[in-house]
Structure 1
Amino acid sequence: MAKVYTYDEVKSHKTPQSCWVILYNKVYDVTSFLRSHPGGSKIILQLSGTDATEEYDPIHPPGTLEKSLPATALLGTIDPSTLPTKVPSSPVKLQSTQTVADCLNLDEIEKLADEKINRKAWAYYYSAADDLVTKSHNNKAYGQILLRPRVFVDCTLCDTSTTLLSSKLKVDIPIFVCPAAMARLGHPDGEKGIAQACAKYSALQIISNNASMTPEQIVAGAGSDQVFGWQLYVQDDRSKSEKMLRRIHALPNIKFICLTLDAPVPGKREHDEREWKVKQSMAGSTASTLPVRSSLQSGSSSTTTPDPLTGPHRITDVEGLGGDTSGGVGNALFAGTAPDLKWDTTLPWLAKHTSLPIILKGVQTHEDVYLASLHAPQVQGVLLSNHGGRALDTAPPALHTLMEVRKYCPEVLEKIDLWVDGGIKRGTDVVKALCLGAKAVGVGRAALWGLGAGGTAGVERVLEILKAETETCMRLLGVGKVEELGMQHINTRVLERDIYDGPSNLDHRLLDKPRAKL
């Protein structure tokens, strides 16, 4: 019969020599796991001797315990009557009687989610870099474009379907879900719930490298025609990325790799960091953050760090047992992320380990879009993105970059797909991006807010609203099909004032630069 422990018995085991945690009312000895934990040992030691279920559950895929720990690690169960009263992570909110079905737009979805999710989830989903200038500008840029409706056009039929990646992928709406991490922070349905919502609308989903469920769990049960992509953060230890790519190849629904380039180090997300500090002050030394973090930048983005190649806080420093984890959720999601990616080394390495098409995420200048086009057909698309304003504040909105491309190197629009994300709140935003030449438009926070507001049904409502608004906009423009949308349907004169107006940087010195042989 399993031994029953009291909380007092467990809380005395909180050292590297004897480290116990409580998970799902069971007591585990994780001492032997400290040095092999992907996020370093310090986060486990911070939670040692406590009930870590609330911190563990939203960010670890089901089955992780069984795969990571030997059977002997399970010591017994906890007597729940001996557990201390938990300090609430945020003030109790008054719950609205509104449901996701009552929400008429994405702002109302976000408001409803704000009433339901905990403070940590809100801080992570809402946060962006520095003063949130880029986050705000992402949406404002769409408002600077005016539409040009035509009349006496039969708008009875409206087809939002389109094809992507050289017409190889067919979707029913030109709207996809970006790789949004940690979905189970907002709702237990998690990324699987997002997948089910996408299935209903035949929408593309890019699975986050930092998903709170495994890719196998997310795509399980998907129809053969449902399309997924996989987000890749290349790791310092390339063998880990290679192992992950092998897993992805075993999942036929995953059709491409989305290589993320816009966050080699975490941005300074003050809402996220502040929430961590609030919890720290409430919970004392047992305060926690997510158990993964950047190998290059330890702790808070408000403080400097040692030399990443020699400093004592590098995550690969086994003797140091990990470093400071005081940077909040956003700062925590970059465990071992490689900051040294280059055109002439990374793409050839990828070519050895995957034959799937590559989408480059996070491109923010026309020069880099042009360079990406030189690597076709390995690179079949670019996702113009500034990481939702979460990396470098005052970086340009994706619309600015898209207009740069039209100005300096429009020929790339015929060579590779250009997708955009950031700031999408209306179907009119979707249509404006398509008129400028984008093949597809992504939403990240909107899907997470939908999940927080109502689980799978909330994400379905997000997609339903965007699809309906897109159809309404197309009909009022006098357009029946996505491929008919073009520059003749928009007025961009106001936005053009803010577009980069310097040299093209596409001269012979760039063209003659050695490129990888693929």
Structure 2
Amino acid sequence: MGKIFTSDEVSKHKTQDSCYVILYGVVYDVTSFLPSHPGGATAILNFAGQDATEEFDPIHPPGTLEEALPPSAKLGTIDTSTLPAKLAEPSAPTPPSAPSSQPRNVWSPESVSDCLSLTDIETLATKRLSSRAWSYYYSAADDLLSKSLNQLAYQRILLRPRVFLDVTRCSLRTHLLGRLPVQLPIFVCPAAMARLAHPAGEHGIAQACARFGAAQIISNNASLSPEQIVDGAPAEQVFGWQLYVQTDRRKSEAMLARMAKLKNVRFVVLTLDAPVPGKREHDERRQGPATALKGATERIREENPDVASSGPKGGETTADGVSNVEGGNAEGGVGKTLFAGTAADLTWRTTLPWLAGHTDLPIVLKGIQTHEDAYLAANHGPQVKAIALSNHGGRAMDTAPPAVHTLMEIRKYCPEVFDKVDVWVDGGIKRGTDVVKALALGAKAVGIGRSPLYGLGAGGVEGVEKVLEILQSETQTAMRLLGVETVDQLGPQHINTRALEMEIYDGPPNLENSYGMWRRLGCRPRL
């Protein structure tokens, strides 16, 4: 296949006028692809003239090259003996200390079988993950306050056990969207880039979910294609697909058409809590092999003045100094790169009618953070079957409320929402008692995001299975100690939220304003 290149020959082609990269031992001319790369030209120019396989492989589904490049882009192979020696990937840094209210975790497991809690899983994964993977998974917005509050909020709720009740039998079975049977009230959130943790990636998570009968939401930015993720799944396994609406709506419409062909994909999750990327400093500070070349960004600016001045894909800078989201951020972390091309112009009036016109699947609105928006969503048409209360794992806006706060707001101001749509929550789930508390407050299902990724990092599919096994066992134990046999028996009588109530929004309901907005949008009520 073409000529055999030396590393020195390839390294001469590192500008926007002549850009070669090495991927999987093959030399590609990607010059013509620079203007249309979703992450912007600079994201490729960072690796121009180099072997970019280690950076490319974990975050691009197989088949990406074939879809993006013509056959003529393959120029030949690389003489691997001429490649420079690779620098060792830095190990994951030690996470910041836990809050003083938490007991110090002195146990350090050496294998998945040693792990007794999700904290053990995270500890083991931290030792095994690359710096790049750990920084992306662990990171959250600004000072990580919302990320911490997600977990602390559950700890401020007390349980109220009942006694003299037969709890010989305990079932976690439930239904999502009123018609999809699952064995656990726990689903895997749409967390991206699973192959950064393990080659099994999102397919490995799917295999673990199949064993436990848990639902999985496929990330819009998964490192495997949806077809690869659901491959081999049992007919009854439940998947959803996360939609980040693209600025070029045709790309989203094409993906929706693909989802319609996958029988295991039963609903679409429209993500609303991150129209733009949050400021995730752990992710952005990370310096791995691809960014370790000193002065790489300066070199790109010097050698490619057009790209440097106009930004990737000609992206502009807004009046507040924030770079165009469509152009991505070549100097940011993985998170910002993934947001390239994501639309920030979604509205109640335009987006939901557009989405309903391109899918027949039930719609879940993810990222509801106030009771007013929950009220609007619950009254916004028959295709909206569920809302997911979420602050994006604390990764979008710091000091945004935990999902538990929003659950309590809904109970206080508009409890009828629970009768109209499923209410799901995610963020901060570390124990089975957390699952039980959310269900007692009215949630239908509870999502976990980072834990399955840490499970992959700790031990591949076995690690994800351990995550689900731990949560399953802890949830059953908590239910039995509460005197409950089935999840639908859980209710407010099983919890004491008094310590948390002072933190809940206590202003005017705003439902009349929401109702007026709803009327102006031409939405039909759910009667």
Same fold by TM (over 0.5)? Answer: yes
* Aligned position for 1:331: 336
Pairing 1:194-343 to 2, within 5 Å after superposition: 194-276=205-287, 280-285=291-296, 306-307=317-318, 314=324, 324-343=329-348
What is the alpha-carbon distance in structure 2 between the residues aligned to residue 356 and residue 407 of structure 1?
31
Any idea what SS the aligned residue of 1:90 has? coil
Match of 1:451 among 451, 456, 461: 456
Residues 339-354 of structure 1 mapped to structure 2, 5 A cutoff:
339-354=344-359
CA, structure 1 residues 287+159, in 2 after alignment: closer, same or farther (shift >3 Å)? farther
CA contact (8 A) 2:329 2:336 kept: no
How far is 1:421 from its partner?
Answer: 0.3
Q: Structure 2: how far apart are the matches of 1:509 and 1:82?
A: 65
> Distance in 1 between the 2:4 and 2:211 partners?
46
What is the root-mean-square deviation of aligned Cα atoms in Å? 2.3
With over 3 angstroms needed to count, the CA separation of the structure-2 counterparts of 1:91 and 1:283, relative to structure 1, is farther
User: What one-letter code is carried by the residue in structure 2 that aligns with 1:184?
Assistant: R
8 Å contact from structure 2 (residues 39, 328) kept in 1: no
Task: Give the superposition deviation at 1:93.
Answer: 9.0
Aligned-residue offset at 1:235: 1.1
Cα displacement string for residues 460-512 of structure 1 (whole angstroms, at most 9, x for unaligned residues): 10000000000000111110001111111111111111111000001267346
Residue pair 2:452, 2:464 contacting (<8 A) in 1 also: yes
Q: Is the 8 A contact 2:204 2:461 kept in 1?
A: yes
Equivalent residues of 1:38, 1:335 under 8 A apart = yes
Code of the residue aligned with 1:33 in structure 2: it is F
| Post-superposition offset of 1:411 | 0.8
Number of equivalences: 496
Say whether the 8 Å CA contact 1:117–1:452 is kept in structure 2.
yes
Counterparts of 1:36 and 1:333, CA distance in 2: 15
Aligned-partner Cα distance in 2 for 1:393–1:15:
38
Residue 506 (structure 1) aligns with: 511
Query: What's the counterpart of residue 308 of structure 2?
Result: none
Residue 382 (structure 2) aligns with: 377
> 1:44 and 1:190 mapped to 2: Cα distance?
23
State whether structure 2 residue 70 is matched by structure 1 residue 64: no
Out of 463, 467, 488, the position equivalent to 1:462 is 467
Instruction: Compute the displacement of 1:237 (Å).
Output: 1.2
Cα gap change, 1:160/1:97 in structure 2, threshold over 3 Å: closer, same or farther? closer
Gaps of 5+ in 2: 95-107, 300-310
CA offsets 1:145-192 (integer angstroms, 9 cap, x no match): 111111111111100000111x21110000000000011111111000
Partner-residue secondary structure (3-state), 2:167: coil
Contact 1:89 1:279 (8 Å CA) reproduced: no
2:21 partner SS: strand
Deviation sequence 1:68-110 (CA, Å, 0-9, x none): 222222222111111111122315999x872112100000100
1:111-130 matches, cutoff 5 A: 111-130=123-142
CA distance in 2, matches of 1:92, 1:443: 22
Q: CA deviation at 1:349?
A: 0.8
> Quick one: which amino acid aligns to residue 276 of structure 2?
V
Q: After superposition, give the CA deviation of every residue in 1:214-247 in whole Å (9 maximum; x if it has no partner).
A: 1111011111100000000111111111111101
Q: 2:112 aligns with which of 85, 95, 100?
A: 100
Question: 1:191 is matched with which residue?
Answer: 202
Mapped contact 2:380–2:523 kept (Cα < 8 A): no
Shift of 1:515: 2.5
Per-residue Cα deviation, 1:101-148 (whole angstroms, up to 9, x for no partner): 210000010010001110011000000011111000000000111111
Task: Report if the CA contact (8 A) 2:329-2:337 is conserved.
Answer: no
Mean Cα displacement is larger for which, 419-428 or 215-224? Answer: 215-224
Give the SS at the match of 1:47: coil
AA aligned to 2:36 is: S
- 1:419 aligns to 2:424 (yes or no): yes
Instruction: Give the deviation of 1:306 after TM superposition.
Output: 2.0
Cα shift at 1:3: 2.3
Query: Displacement of 1:286 after TM fit?
Result: 7.3
Is residue 363 from structure 1 mapped to residue 368 from structure 2 by the alignment?
yes
Q: Which stretch of structure 1 is more off in the superposition, 466-475 or 237-246? A: 237-246
Partner of 1:302: none
Whether the 8 Å CA contact 2:174–2:181 is kept in 1: the answer is yes
Show the counterpart of 1:479. 484
AA in 1 matched with 2:280: R
* Distance 1:407-1:199 versus aligned 2 partners, 3 A rule: same
Partner of 2:159: 147
Q: AA paired with 2:227?
A: E
Is structure 2 residue 39 aligned with structure 1 residue 33?
no
Show structure 1 runs of 5+ residues with no match: 289-297, 300-304, 317-321
SS at match of 1:507: helix
2:256 maps to amino acid? L
CA 1:477–1:517 in structure 2 vs 1: closer, same or farther (change >3 Å)? closer
For residues 318-347 of structure 1, the C-alpha deviation after alignment (integer angstroms, 9 at most, x for no partner) is xxxx56511111111112111111111111
AA at the equivalent of 1:463? L
- Would you say 1:403 and 2:408 are equivalent positions? yes
- Alignment partners' CA distance in 2, 1:86 and 1:284: 18
- 1:13 to 2:24 alignment: no
Deviation at 1:258, TM superposition (A): 0.3
**1:276, 1:328 within 8 Å by CA — same for their partners in 2?**
no
Identity across the alignment (%) = 64
The whole-number CA distance in structure 1 between the counterparts of 2:197 and 2:206 is: 15
Q: 1:312 to 1:420 in 2, by over 3 A?
A: closer
The worse-fitting range, judged by mean Cα deviation, of 66-75 and 419-428 is 66-75
Counterpart contact for 2:55–2:290, Cα < 8 Å = no
Q: Is contact 1:308–1:314 with CA below 8 Å preserved after alignment?
A: no
Hey, what's the Cα distance between the residues in 1 that align with 2:191 and 2:488? 28
SS at match of 1:122: helix
Q: 1:43 deviation in Å?
A: 1.2
SS of equivalent to 1:410: coil
Separation in structure 2 between the aligned mates of residue 93 and residue 397 of structure 1, nearest angstrom = 26
Q: 2 CA distance for matches of 1:122 and 1:331?
A: 16
Q: Normalized against structure 1, the TM-score is what?
A: 0.91
Q: Does residue 1:515 correspond to 2:526, yes or no?
A: no
Q: CA deviation at 1:376?
A: 3.5
Residue type of the partner of 1:98? E
Query: Cα gap change, 1:97/1:256 in structure 2, threshold over 3 Å: closer, same or farther?
Result: closer
Contact 1:428 / 1:469 at 8 angstroms: preserved in 2? yes
Return the offset for 1:18: 1.6
SS of residue matched to 2:335:
helix
